[in-house]
Amino acid sequence: MLRAVLWDMDGTLVDSEKVWAAVQLRLIPELGGTWTDEDSLGLLGSDLRDAAQVWLAALPAGVITAEELASRIFTEVVEELRREVEFMPGALELLQGLRKAEIPCGLVSASYRVMIEAVLGHLPADPFDVIIAGDEVTNGKPHPEPYLAAAAKLGVDPADCVVIEDSPTGTAAGTAAGAYVVAVPHFVPIPEAPRRLVVRSLEAVTPESLRELLR
């Protein structure tokens, strides 16, 4: 039976990947580095600590520390998300349907808690039963720890959960945790695989169709 649905945030619930990309494309050249759209795509779903090392490698030596760079990019993205967010097609409708059907939902994001709160400010109160933030785990995606932690907090077996993801990194994390993954790729292709459904958007996904995946 379907015991819970575990949501990724960036690129799955909200279209924040373009905000991340815009900040990177602006800030890294300002600091003397070179950055492209392809570089941004390569970091989809990555833990902030891992991304900071990639950003730092694109800059001249000694310009800034990894911690300072991560803080600057992170702060600018949070400010943008506090102002406005754009939800992915079908995401809000599916989330509302799951809440109405009383299916527990968790938010499992590589983003840090303050960024998650910026996004949640645009949603009705308490849309998720548990939240696992990127700064609250030891190992970020593609490691299964974030999804295992969410399932444990909900008191459910990961095999009875559906994970909704948009990136290969997040999809790998959900699969490694043992969940059924619904992948909604937007920028980077995600191949078909066992216990994985690849869809073009969440517009045709319903609570009942998610239940059927585990039957």
| CATH code, residues 16-83 | 1.10.150.240
The span from the CA of 33 to the CA of 63, in Å, is 10
Domain with CATH 1.10.150.240 in the chain: 16-83
Do residues 46 and 146 make contact, with C-beta atoms less than 8 angstroms apart? Answer: no
Portion of the chain with pLDDT greater than 90, in percent: 87
Verdict on whether the full-model pTM lies above 0.75: yes
Lowest mean pLDDT among 36-40, 95-99, 155-159: 36-40
pLDDT for res 113 = 93
* SS3 (DSSP) at 157: coil
* SS3 (DSSP) at 180: strand
pLDDT for res 124 = 85
pLDDT score of 123 more than 80: yes
Q: Which residue has the tokens 């548990």?
A: 130
Alpha-carbon dihedral 143, 144, 148, 151, rounded to 10 degrees: 120
pLDDT score of 143 more than 90: yes
pLDDT score of 174 more than 80: yes
Q: Which residue has the tokens 């070179």?
A: 34
Domain with CATH 3.40.50.1000 in the chain: 4-15+86-213
Which helix (H) or strand (E) segment holds residue 178: the answer is none
Can you name the CATH fold of 4-15+86-213? Rossmann fold (3.40.50)
pLDDT for res 13 = 96
Mean pLDDT over 168-190 rounds to 95
pLDDT score of 195 more than 90: yes
pLDDT score of 192 more than 80: yes
pLDDT score of 196 more than 90: yes
